[in-house]
Structure 1
Amino acid sequence: MPSYTPPRSSQPPTGVPFELSLSTHPSTPHHRSSLTPVSFLLRAALITPRKLAIDHPERGYGFTYEQWATRCLSLAFAILSVPGFKAGDRVAVISPNAPLIADAHWGIPAVGGIITPINIRNTPKEVAYVLEHSGSTIILCDHEFTHLLPEANGKVKVVVSKDSGGQDKNDEYEHFLDQGWQAWQRAQQAELDKFKSRTKPSAEPKTGWKLLNAPLDEEAAIALCYTSGTTGRPKGVLTNHRGAYLSAISNAFEANITADSRYLWVLPMFHACGWTFPWAVTAALGTHHTIRKVDNTVIWDALRNHGVTHYCGAPTVQIGLVNHPDAKKLDHKVNVAVAASAPTANLLAKMEGLNLHPVHVYGLTETYGPFTRRYFEPEWAKLDVDARARMMARQGHAYLTSDEVRVVRTDSSTTSTEDLIDVERNGKETGEIVIRGNMTMLGYYNDPSATSKAVMKGWFHTGDLAVRHPGGEIQILDRGKDIIISGGENISSLMVEQELAAHGDVLECCVIARAHEKWGERGHAFVVLTEQSKGKKGKEFIEELRKHCKGRMSGFAVPEWFEIVEELPKTSTGKVQKNVLRARFASKL
């Protein structure tokens, strides 16, 4: 970006070498270093200093890796300069996918702070709860979301960003960074003066990033991410430096991100720290391409004209993209991580036709984002798109740095057996997905009761019901609360949705349990039609949908009711809010 000149807070030093490593605590043994994802940025700035690290074309600015490392060090010292700040304090970030929240993933943990990203689609009341529960003492807020801020409180430092990159002289965030830069210069000069006044030989003075220490304990908390709270108050998921480091390595590896990759920020960085991709892309020396909101026109421009190679998003995002007027086959392959649910056969065919190649991943906020994926098998090449979609729908195997995922009998979690008992690998016996190890949260913040309910016998219980196939891969049948129990038969709402979505007129669908006088429960299907099929709402069409389902599932699994709707309620990350649909239906009773 030749027309853009970064502010001094983002320009690497010229008078002295720019030190790009953290200091090690004297008590750290020679054979060990604390794992922290902060090291990825410093390594990238050392190896590829002039490579574009983050590009923000909507606002006309971006930074090379050495500029970004400078900027994040300025942010680190700015945070350190806030009166009363200490390691372990929570720093909240209210921002869309802009450099502000990307900066925060480095500057906050670099000084021992805990980044607390907040969902910008929450209400002021919900945001107030998270801020109070987390006890955040600093808030970094984008200018478009100041309406989410609580009333002024002298105990909390609020910094508002105009997302100008320094081009607006009245940008408060840029002033904050400059104050940090000045504090850094003072600390560095004090080190240099001490070195000059020495009376005997001594070690070189600490400059640049050497002024900060790597975490003494890699188990120290790095992030506090709140769940969606669809069934009650959101819970704060606490994760650590070690887990973030290893999860980022896994995501870079599993997504095949390299130094030639350009990652498009469609997935919100506020969602589980963007599944650790802020750290993963940097670890691979790739480039971040940021856009402030999910705008399909902007996304297609990025895909066509900016060399984007990777992005993540739920099926609802893909549906919008493949049906957009700008959708045309790309001249290069784009790797797409799809979560929340697997792409249907119709969606898979459309994506592949546009050179968008999905990989199905599965995870939770409690697991740093995805921790399993469906690995491609050569035999799939011989299958038609419907059969391939069925194979892809499985959640697969654990990531590189994760322990093996298990599916265990639900009663073994609470019985007196010494360990959990795995289900048979027959693709039939249902159990609960559990996980432990590197890619699992520390626990729920200030909520030991919720933590003890989720972590039993040394394993985190996800609440997702699944089977395990002979090949070892897992496949989710449903969330425990979403299973439909009809006449003693368990019906997977996900299975019904997958089969119903295979109908050519169906764009999206969702199935929930509805009380039934005879069977206890039956399925109620909410269906969104494709643009070409709008208007098909009569009894004949409903019977057509019913007949379609009867040919693909047991009779008791066929929804009793079909309701055509304009759209499905969703969370900020594209998950269908079944609780909202249940409430909507309940209000009709």
Structure 2
Amino acid sequence: MYELHFAVPMAGAVLCTLNSRLDSAMVSVLLAHSEAKILFVDHGLLEIARGAFDHLAKTNTKPPILVLISEGDDDPSPTNIVPYEYESFLETGHIEFEIKRPKSEWDPISVNYTSGTTSRPKGVVYSHRGAYLNTIATLFLHGMQSMPVYLWTVPMFHCNGWCLTWGVAAQGGTNICMKNVSPSKIFENIALHNVTHMGGAPTVLNMIVNSSVREQKRISSKVVICTGGSPPPPQILLKMEELGFSVTHLYGLTETYGPGTYCVLKPEWESLPPEEQSKLKARQGTQHLGLQDVDILDPVTMEKVPADGKTMGEVMFRGNTVMSGYFKDSKATEEAFKGGWFHSGDLAVKHPDGYIEVTDRLKDIIISGGENISTIQVETVLYSHPAVLEAAVVARPDNHWGQTPCAFVKLKEGFDIDAQELILFCRGHLPHYMAPKTVIFEELPRTSTGKIQKYILREKAKALGSLS
């Protein structure tokens, strides 16, 4: 996939990296929607591709040419379904081939499908210009100088690896790739390859800080790790620093080529207590140098909210590192850019220092007895309990209050507490109306990029009915 990030644009084609965890049915939908001409498939995912082709045959949709990325002699020989093997396919190329450069810098370089946490995935179109600018910006955010050693835990199919597929190469870097992410493999690769930089969703950070002493290895020099996807709990940031990582917090969406803002660390924060530092570092911060503008606006009036750290609005973006639009979906594109800004769907406040802080997704906010409850604020308290490994809060319908907070929690190994204990803990750290009235212990559903699938949890909470 890394090679194809260069080969496909150089051939004048458009790259469309698909999530490796999708099933055959969804792969067939995306192949048909993207009108893909060639499909490169890892040998371990061949059966998924075969299933997708079967789905396409039922709708009389012409399948793409399949190129198999094989591994050893046990892989199938070329057939009518698999006409090419990757390395053999490369041998048919011409060394004197001239790069087909874009006619315009606004030509598409890739289509990235959103994670589909709430609906059918949409194809986000990236331009050559946007990808170039966000690549440069992300290098600055990571503090990447020449010859970095980058450990991949961010999937390359997610926002083209936050554009670092191109960025690491630009800096003459070394890529360390893992098929499966685990704490032991992360520490092992850091020690073996002298990793300087890595990226990962908060779930990866959570995995690292809660790893066993047996899995951990001493980090001889600071590893710069950028995290983004959802606001990381301050407790996780603090523990990461203690383990030898330097954490930079980024924020963005697929529609903003990945990172759009970052939390610039101010020197004066160093004199503050560690807990206070972590709270400040957990904010989404300010725009990066490749973005024209990011601000918090009232989504109805489109007026900017005051920088008081209290008034909520919607995070909105504009500039060259915002998508060109949704592929073959003009209605969704117009809706997303209403009023001349890209609407993120995230609620946030703006602090007096200009830093923004996401408080919730618009669809996640809980309204209980007329009061707005930030699920992120409740989750942060839950994460501070020593027994909690993961937590997600959603609205449960209530006949009296309208909605009440319902927490889904996964406990750390060796801990056994009941729901009432957690509820009382939250009441000791939050106003009573904000504390969960329901706690359910179970595994949390996630997308392949580490985002908790709250729409699944909302359905579960809805099925519980009213408490009152």
Give the TM-score normalised by the residue count of structure 2.
0.92
Matches within 5 A, 1:448-463: 448-463=330-345
Q: How far is 1:348 from its partner? A: 2.3
Q: Does residue 131 in structure 1 map to residue 31 in structure 2? A: yes
Are the structure 2 counterparts of residues 434 and 346 from structure 1 closer, same or farther at C-alpha, using a change threshold of 3 Å? closer
Q: Secondary structure at 2:109's aligned position in 1?
A: strand
Q: Contact 1:258–1:285 (CA<8 Å) still a contact in 2? A: no
Q: Which one of 391, 395, 417 corresponds to residue 536 of structure 1?
A: 417
Q: How far is 1:438 from its partner? A: 1.4
1:541-578 Cα offsets, whole Å, 9 max, x none, are x343223322332221111112222x211110111111
Q: Which one of 482, 493, 496 corresponds to residue 375 of structure 2?
A: 493
Q: Does residue 263 in structure 1 map to residue 150 in structure 2? A: yes
Partner of 2:101: 214
C-alpha separation between the residues in 1 aligned to 2:459 and 2:303? 36
Amino acid at match of 1:550: R
Amino acid at match of 1:162: S
Partner of 1:469: 351
Q: Contact 2:183–2:216 (CA<8 Å) still a contact in 1? A: no
Amino acid at match of 1:331: S
Q: Please, which runs of 5 or more residues in structure 1 have no aligned partner?
A: 1-100, 189-207, 413-419
Q: Over alpha carbons, which structure has the higher Rg? A: 1
Matches within 5 A, 1:125-524: 125-149=25-49, 150-151=52-53, 155-163=63-71, 172-180=85-93, 184-185=94-95, 188=96, 211-324=98-211, 325-412=214-301, 420-524=302-406
Q: Secondary structure at 1:114's aligned position in 2?
A: coil
Are the structure 2 counterparts of residues 588 and 217 from structure 1 closer, same or farther at C-alpha, using a change threshold of 3 Å? same
C-alpha separation between the residues in 2 aligned to 1:380 and 1:329? 26
C-alpha separation between the residues in 2 aligned to 1:560 and 1:155? 51
Q: Contact 1:327–1:354 (CA<8 Å) still a contact in 2? A: no
Q: How far is 1:304 from its partner? A: 1.1
Amino-acid identity (%) = 39
C-alpha separation between the residues in 1 aligned to 2:387 and 2:446? 21
C-alpha separation between the residues in 2 aligned to 1:127 and 1:586? 30
What is the alpha-carbon root mean square deviation over aligned residues? 2.0
**Number of matched pairs:** 449
Partner of 1:80: none
Q: Secondary structure at 1:224's aligned position in 2?
A: strand
Amino acid at match of 1:568: L
Partner of 2:435: 558
Q: Secondary structure at 2:277's aligned position in 1?
A: helix
Amino acid at match of 1:575: K
Partner of 1:94: none
C-alpha separation between the residues in 1 aligned to 2:200 and 2:334? 31
Q: How far is 1:212 from its partner? A: 2.1
Q: Does residue 105 in structure 1 map to residue 18 in structure 2? A: no
Q: Secondary structure at 1:423's aligned position in 2?
A: coil
Are the structure 2 counterparts of residues 385 and 568 from structure 1 closer, same or farther at C-alpha, using a change threshold of 3 Å? farther
C-alpha separation between the residues in 1 aligned to 2:150 and 2:313? 36
Give the TM-score normalised by the residue count of structure 1.
0.73
Q: How far is 1:380 from its partner? A: 2.2
C-alpha separation between the residues in 1 aligned to 2:65 and 2:182? 32
Are the structure 2 counterparts of residues 407 and 282 from structure 1 closer, same or farther at C-alpha, using a change threshold of 3 Å? same
Are the structure 2 counterparts of residues 249 and 163 from structure 1 closer, same or farther at C-alpha, using a change threshold of 3 Å? farther
C-alpha separation between the residues in 2 aligned to 1:424 and 1:353? 36
Partner of 1:49: none
Partner of 1:117: 17
1:203-260 Cα offsets, whole Å, 9 max, x none, are xxxxx6xx22421201000000001122221100001000000000000111011223
Partner of 1:201: none
C-alpha separation between the residues in 1 aligned to 2:237 and 2:135? 27
C-alpha separation between the residues in 1 aligned to 2:362 and 2:32? 30
Q: Does residue 584 in structure 1 map to residue 460 in structure 2? A: yes
Q: How far is 1:472 from its partner? A: 0.6
1:40-70 Cα offsets, whole Å, 9 max, x none, are xxxxxxxxxxxxxxxxxxxxxxxxxxxxxxx
C-alpha separation between the residues in 2 aligned to 1:298 and 1:244? 30
C-alpha separation between the residues in 1 aligned to 2:238 and 2:358? 22
Q: Contact 2:397–2:462 (CA<8 Å) still a contact in 1? A: no
Q: How far is 1:155 from its partner? A: 5.0
C-alpha separation between the residues in 1 aligned to 2:266 and 2:385? 26
